[in-house]
Every structure is written in structure tokens, then in C-alpha cells.
């Protein structure tokens, strides 16, 4: 039998070698511990490695670790904070394999040194901050057509009780019959829109001139009755199949904002539609963020009044706010039909706009302040106004242009205005100048002392039976005309001027 070799103290040499290897391993482990400054990230240990920018990202709770995150606005792919690179940054350090690093049970197990991040790599891109989007409150716009009537007071009482506002598209004929009702609508703060004069389809859609005449007539009645200048307009029966492109384009050019609807209460489909059916029609319409409800307060719509509380309660239950239509909104309109139901001969767009009062006629005229005279050369404009005994506040601003009311211009200078029914000319005389308005063309003519004429195209507007032209055009005409010459101001073909309009 072969004897094991022994050391000096009688210990077997194999045990001595094993003990030396163990001691060396312990020393190496302690050396690594000291060099690395202690356990990485261990609190309270001197020299602990500072947390990196990535390690500031929160690690998911254990209960969330195995759950797939739902997509969010900041993370549309659904990675969330619990997955992807950010999770890898926060992964715990791997536990050393005991087999590869034997150590006595009493010795602490050193954590492996962290892997150094190359300094030439780009810094990690921070996760995008979710943008907080303002929640839009759904809004319903209750609209009432064909009034005012004896029923309007009941509708107003319900709206007042519910503390909500609505929009009333009124007929000129009904306003003349019930002027106090329109004033009550305006005084209660509700919006008012133009619904033409008589609601007779054949008149309105058999001829655009008839339609335009009714619109302008009703506009004047509304303004004279309640002091309201409105751009809102609703076509009787709606635009689909009744309007062609000319109707839309000319009304837009004249400044009107045409509204249809997207909720039909059905209260006008036949006579005496029961209140329960009206409410059911409203409730059966798919909810949208913006609802424009068609109802009626004209005569014969008692059931509509009865249904109104249920309609209001329905929208309140679904969290809707109540609002009034505005010319600042993008209007809800039916699509343009491929053909219309009516046989008619449309005029040119220029003529159609002229019948509506001209470009921007529906836009409320805002009295200009000192700034209105800034058109062109400010100083010269103010001097011109002063010479003619006019103030900047006498001007009317339509769009970006300052207009002069010709009747006021004549009156300020102790002149006169007259209408000749035979020749259909309006004459304005002041300061030795005479302006003549004719309905034949759309040009401004100025004749000098030698009879030579200067001619320009000008924009002519009508307001409350009066005629206005741009300040710059009037200044030029009067400057170029001889003191005793005549300046003829003419409107577009097909228009006439009447003092009593």
C-alpha cells in the first residue's frame, strides 16, 4: 500500500494544498470586495457606487412583474415601465455560482462588479412625458324652428327652469305677428337665426331671387324688432335636395352661416306627433360629441313642448352641456345632393350675392374707433374726415375695410339725400359735390370739369336702407371730381336702392 505524503507537522500534503487553495480564494474574494468599494449599491457602505440616471426609473412591484402592461399615450406599444430596456437597467445583480467561487459559510458572498458602460455610447433617451389632453365636454344644441308663436312662452319657461340656452330659427312672418315673443327670446339670452319669411318651399327653392328676398326681409325684421343682427340661417326643410352649389356659395359670400342638424326629433314628420314618439326619436339617435337637435315651437307643436323636459333630462343624464349655435362654429350641413327637387334658373354668383346685399352683408357692421381711419395713410384719412365734418366713429367696418354711410356723409356736411323713383337714382349732395347712385352696374365714375370721366370698380354695401362705400373709394372720387361734377355710384345688376327698404 502506498502511503500518502505528509508535511512537516504530519498533515497530509493533499489537505495542505486544499487548505492553501481555500485561503487563496478567501483572500481573492476579500481583495475584490475592497477594490470594488463594497457591495454595489449597498446603503451605508462607504464608496458605494452612485445610482445611475437609468436606475432612477421605478421598478414594477412584484405583483406587477408578470403582468403585461396596457398601451398608454406615452408608450403606444404597451412596453410600459415594466418591460423593455428600462426593466433591464433595474434587473438585480446575478448571484455568483458557489461552485466557481468556493468560500466558507461565514464569509460574505461578494457581488460581481457592475459592467462598465462605455462612455462613447449615447445617453439613454428618457421616456416621453404623457401629454394631458383636456377632456371635451359633449354639447347639445337645442334648436326650435318656425316660431315664434303662442307656444314660445312655454318653451322659454321650460328652458329657464332647466337653466339652459337654445337657438330659435324664426320666420319673418311670425315675428311680425308675435314681436313680443322674439324680444322675449333675445332678452333671455337665447340665440336667434333666420328661417326665411314664409317657409313656402316653392317660393324659396323655385327661384333664388325669391329666396334671397325672403332672407334679407327677415333679417331686417329681426333687427328692427329685437335689435339682433344674426348671421345664422337654417333652410326650411333642410339644405339636402333644396340647395345647390349656388345657394351655399352665395350665402357664404354674403356672410351667412347655414346650419342643418344631426338629430331629428321627428316632431314635424306629420301632424300631432305624440310627445312619447318625439322623445323616443331623440333618445334613439346615436350619441356624438356635438348634437344639434331639430325641434319646433311653431303653432301646432304642442306635443313638442310636452316632450321637451324628457329630451333635456336625457341629455343631462348622459353628461351633456347645453349651448347655443354661433357663427364662430363650423356649421353642421347635409352633403350636397347630386340633383335638386326643383326646376329653376340660377343667376350668376355675383348677381346672387348682390341680391343678398353684397359681400359680407350679413356680417354685423361694427362701428370703427380711431383705428378704423388707419386704412391707407392714417394722417390723411383723419384730415379728410375732419374736412368733411365726420368722426372716425361715423365709419362702419366691414371685414378689414372702413365704409362711409353716404346719407351720413351728406348730413354731416349740411347736404341732402334724395331718391328719384322714375330714374331709380339716389342723389347725395354735400360741399359742392354730387354723388348719384344707379342700379345698373357696379362701377364708380367721377367726372371732372372738362367732362372727362374716371371709373373704378367699387364695393357697395347696404345697411338699414342706407348705402355705404369704402372710405378710400369716396376720397378718391371726391378728389378727382370737379367741384360741380357728378360722381355716379352704381350697384350690381339686378339690385335697386329704395329709401324705404
Reading the chain (501 residues) residue by residue, the pLDDT tens digits are: 444 445 545 555 555 555 556 655 555 554 444 444 444 333 333 333 333 333 333 333 333 333 333 333 333 333 333 333 333 333 344 444 444 444 444 444 444 544 444 444 444 444 444 455 556 789 999 999 999 999 999 999 999 999 999 999 999 999 999 999 999 999 999 999 999 999 999 999 999 999 999 999 999 999 999 999 999 999 999 999 999 999 999 998 899 999 999 999 999 999 999 999 999 999 999 999 999 999 999 999 999 999 999 999 999 999 999 999 998 888 999 998 999 999 999 999 999 999 999 988 888 754 333 333 344 445 677 777 888 877 776 777 776 678 888 777 777 777 777 777 776 666 776 766 777 766 344 455 555 545 555 555 566 676 655 677 788 877 877 765 544 445 554 443 333 333 222
State the CB neighbour count (10 A cutoff) for residue 410. Answer: 22
Q: Are 259 and 333 in contact (CB under 8 A)?
A: yes
Q: How far apart are CA 438 and CA 491, in angstroms?
A: 6
Q: How far apart are CA 254 and CA 211, in angstroms?
A: 14
DSSP label at residue 276:
H
Q: How far apart are CA 470 and CA 447, in angstroms?
A: 19
Task: DSSP for 174-204, please give it.
Answer: HHHH-HHHHHHHHHTT-EEEE--SS--HHHH
- The number of angstroms, rounded, from the C-alpha of 225 to the middle of its chain's C-alpha atoms is 30
Res 84: pLDDT: 36
Res 438: pLDDT: 60
* Strands 425-430 and 433-438, sheet pairing: antiparallel
* Strands 139-147 and 167-170, sheet pairing: parallel
State the CB neighbour count (10 A cutoff) for residue 125. Answer: 7
Q: Are 325 and 175 in contact (CB under 8 A)?
A: no
Using alpha carbons only, what angle is made at residue 308 by residues 280 and 142, rounded to the nearest 5 degrees? 95
The arrangement of secondary structure in 139-355, i.e. its CATH architecture, is Alpha-Beta Barrel (3.20)
- Kindly list the strands in the beta sheet with 466-470, ordered across the sheet, starting from the edge strand earlier in the chain: 366-367, 396-398, 401-405, 466-470, 461-463
Q: Where are the domains of the chain?
A: 139-355, 371-490
Three-state secondary structure along 351-372? HHHHHCCCCCCCCCCEECCHHH
Burial profile 363-393: b = 16 or more Cβ within 10 angstroms, e = fewer: bebeebeeebbebeeeeebbebbeebebebe
Q: Are 314 and 279 in contact (CB under 8 A)?
A: yes
Q: How far apart are CA 186 and CA 166, in angstroms?
A: 11
Name, in order, each residue with C-beta under 8 angstroms of 98's C-beta and a sequence gap of 6 or more: none
DSSP label at residue 79:
-
Q: Which residue stretches of 84-235 are H helix?
A: 84-89, 152-162, 172-177, 179-187, 201-206, 208-226
Sign (positive or negative) of CA dihedral 40, 44, 46, 51: positive
Burial zone of 319 (CB within 10 Å; 0-12 exposed, 13-18 middle, 19+ buried)? exposed
- Lookup: cell for 5: 505524503
Cis peptide before 463 (omega within 30 of 0): no
Q: How far apart are CA 498 and CA 420, in angstroms?
A: 9
Res 173: pLDDT: 98
- Lookup: cell for 346: 340660377
Q: Which of 315, 316, 270 is nearest to 293 (CA)?
A: 315
- Lookup: cell for 206: 323655385
Please compute Rg for the chain using Cα positions. 42
Amino acid at each position: 500500500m502506498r502511503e500518502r505524503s505528509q508535511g512537516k507537522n504530519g498533515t497530509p500534503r493533499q489537505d495542505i494544498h486544499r487548505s492553501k487553495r481555500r485561503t487563496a480564494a478567501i483572500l481573492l474574494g476579500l481583495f475584490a470586495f475592497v477594490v470594488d468599494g463594497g457591495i454595489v449599491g449597498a446603503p451605508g457602505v462607504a464608496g458605494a457606487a452612485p445610482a445611475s440616471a437609468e436606475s432612477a426609473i421605478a421598478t414594477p412591484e412584484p405583483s406587477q412583474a408578470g403582468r403585461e402592461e396596457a398601451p398608454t399615450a406615452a408608450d403606444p406599444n404597451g412596453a410600459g415601465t415594466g418591460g423593455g430596456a428600462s426593466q433591464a437597467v433595474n434587473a438585480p445583480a446575478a448571484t455568483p455560482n458557489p461552485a466557481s467561487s468556493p468560500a466558507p459559510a461565514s464569509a460574505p458572498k461578494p457581488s460581481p462588479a457592475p459592467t462598465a458602460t462605455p462612455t462613447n455610447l449615447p445617453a439613454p433617451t428618457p421616456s416621453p412625458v404623457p401629454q394631458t389632453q383636456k377632456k371635451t365636454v359633449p354639447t347639445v344644441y337645442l334648436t326650435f324652428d318656425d316660431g315664434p308663436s303662442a307656444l314660445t312662452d312655454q318653451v322659454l319657461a321650460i328652458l329657464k327652469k332647466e337653466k339652459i340656452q337654445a337657438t330659435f330659427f324664426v320666420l319673418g312672418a311670425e315675428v311680425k305677428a308675435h314681436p313680443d315673443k322674439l324680444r322675449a327670446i333675445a332678452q333671455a339670452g337665447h340665440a336667434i337665426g333666420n328661417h326665411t319669411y314664409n317657409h313656402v318651399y316653392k317660393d324659396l327653392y323655385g327661384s333664388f331671387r325669391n329666396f334671397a328676398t325672403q332672407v334679407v326681409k327677415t333679417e331686417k325684421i329681426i333687427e328692427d324688432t329685437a335689435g339682433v343682427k344674426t348671421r345664422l340661417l337654417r333652410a326650411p326643410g333642410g339644405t339636402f335636395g333644396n340647395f345647390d352649389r349656388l345657394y351655399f356659395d352665395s350665402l357664404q359670400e354674403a356672410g351667412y352661416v347655414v346650419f342643418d342638424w344631426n338629430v331629428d326629433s321627428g316632431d314635424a314628420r306629420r301632424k300631432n306627433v305624440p310627445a312619447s314618439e318625439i322623445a323616443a326619436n331623440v333618445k334613439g339617435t346615436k350619441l356624438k360629441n356635438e348634437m344639434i337637435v331639430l325641434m319646433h315651437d311653431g303653432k301646432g307643436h304642442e306635443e313638442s313642448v310636452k316632450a321637451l323636459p324628457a329630451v333635456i333630462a336625457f341629455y343631462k343624464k348622459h353628461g351633456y352641456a347645453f349651448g347655443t349655435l354661433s357663427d364662430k362654429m363650423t356649421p353642421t350641413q347635409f352633403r350636397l345632393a347630386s340633383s335638386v327637387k326643383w326646376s329653376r334658373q340660377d343667376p350668376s354668383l355675383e348677381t346672387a350675392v348682390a341680391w343678398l346685399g353684397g359681400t359680407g352683408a350679413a356680417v354685423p357692421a361694427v362701428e370703427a374707433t380711431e383705428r378704423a381711419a388707419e386704412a391707407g395713410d392714417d394722417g390723411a384719412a383723419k384730415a379728410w374726415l375732419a374736412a368733411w365734418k365726420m368722426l372716425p366713429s361715423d365709419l362702419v367696418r366691414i371685414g378689414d375695410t372702413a365704409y362711409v354711410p353716404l346719407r351720413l356723409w351728406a348730413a354731416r356736411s349740411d347736404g341732402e339725400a334724395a331718391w328719384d323713383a322714375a330714374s331709380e337714382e339716389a342723389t347725395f349732395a354735400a360741399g359742392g359735390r354730387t354723388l348719384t347712385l344707379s342700379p345698373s352696374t357696379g362701377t364708380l365714375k367721377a367726372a371732372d370739369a372738362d367732362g372727362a370721366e374716371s371709373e373704378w370698380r367699387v364695393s357697395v354695401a347696404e345697411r338699414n336702407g342706407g348705402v355705404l362705400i369704402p372710405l378710400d373709394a369716396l376720397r378718391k372720387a371726391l378728389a378727382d371730381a370737379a367741384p360741380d361734377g357728378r360722381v355716379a355710384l352704381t350697384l350690381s345688376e339686378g339690385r335697386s336702392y329704395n329709401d324705404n327698404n
